[in-house]
Amino acid sequence: MRRKNLRSGITLLEAVMATAITVLIGTALVTMAITTLTTQQSSTFKNLATRCAETKVEEIKNAERVYRSNIQNGDWSNFPNGSTTDYCPYNSNTQFFTRVTTFTGGAIVKDVEIVISWVEKGRYVRVRLVSQLTKWL
């Protein structure tokens, strides 16, 4: 009859240690995946907000071209000082991004500031874009 070798197999301590190491590695991988997805979503929102601001700048630049002769004559009535608020839709027609366009300045240069804001995970986030309209010929 053959005798069993008492040293074969693993001890309870070794099994517990192997399980603990596996759990730690698994937790680290899951945490890394969640962080990556969160960062990717935040980056996507910032990209969409930037595009929203750039769209408004293009609208203003096109209006500037249309009213160029008025501007050269000192008539800035199409770009009055002050702020206007509208929304940039994200994912259908929701009011996810708030866009505030502010004109300031005088007779030669008009500053334009466009601020896109939204709430992401309970935090207020914003993207700011600044441009200028001039009275150049």
Phi, psi dihedral angles at 108 (to 5 degrees):
-105, -40
pLDDT lower than 70: segments of the chain: 1-8, 90-95, 137
Dihedral of the CA atoms 25, 27, 33, 34 (nearest 10)? -160
Write down the pLDDT at residue 65: 85
Write down the pLDDT at residue 94: 62
